[in-house]
Amino acid sequence: MALGPVVIPALKGPAKGAMIIVHGLGDSGEGWRFFGELFGRYFPDVTTILPNAPEMPVTVNGGYVMRSWFDIYEFGNPKAKQDADGILKSARVLQDLVKEQVSKGIDPSKIVLGGFSQGASISLIAASTLDIKIGGVIAMSGFISIPKEVTPLITSANKSTPFFQGHGTADPVIQFTYGEQCRDFFKSHGFTNYQFHSYEGMQHSTSDEELRHIYQFLSKAYS
């Protein structure tokens, strides 16, 4: 079952910016409400959109039905079978959310797209293949699992857009080296404004330090 996104309105309207933050496997938009409420206090003219993945059977979890942006056949293995169609379909969903905000009058340069884990992966793909230049991209514990499929779809629109990628060195789900491979992929394809932050001892999660760095990133995006 698909649910509409959780929307946290700008505290000071009308909104002048938008932040789209995408959850990971088995989570929900509601699970990232804290993120929108935290940064909404610092950026009161920004609306936060927290989309919900559809419910689907996930192969790696024995076919158990949960919210997922695409099927997963094996955790943390870039050489495993990948659900390319599902990944690209979800990336297009995010692109449509960006375009919806633009249609509401939000300046694309004031739109930030990002997410955690699965959400980070599809956010990176959505931004790199988008035909609109946006204000920034945030990838927490992200990865790129279908580089060959994404490469011919990459556009030049966001090659100079600021990207933030953060990854824990102790991540047991998406290994740190996998995060580095993701960074290297985008840098090798001409994304010149790409920050990579490593967090010593952090597992598959976020941290106060990472959130401080994201605040600094957003301060520039919404300046």
Report, as residue numbers or ranges, the catalytic residues. 117, 171, 204
Q: Are 39 and 46 in contact (CB under 8 A)?
A: yes
Q: Are 138 and 48 in contact (CB under 8 A)?
A: no
Q: Are 59 and 72 in contact (CB under 8 A)?
A: yes
For helices 208-221 and 33-42, angle between their N-to-C axes, nearest 10 degrees: 50
Cα–Cα–Cα angle for 185, 109, 32, rounded to 5 degrees: 70
Structure tokens at 41: 């206090």
Q: Are 23 and 32 in contact (CB under 8 A)?
A: yes
CA distance 42 to 206: 19
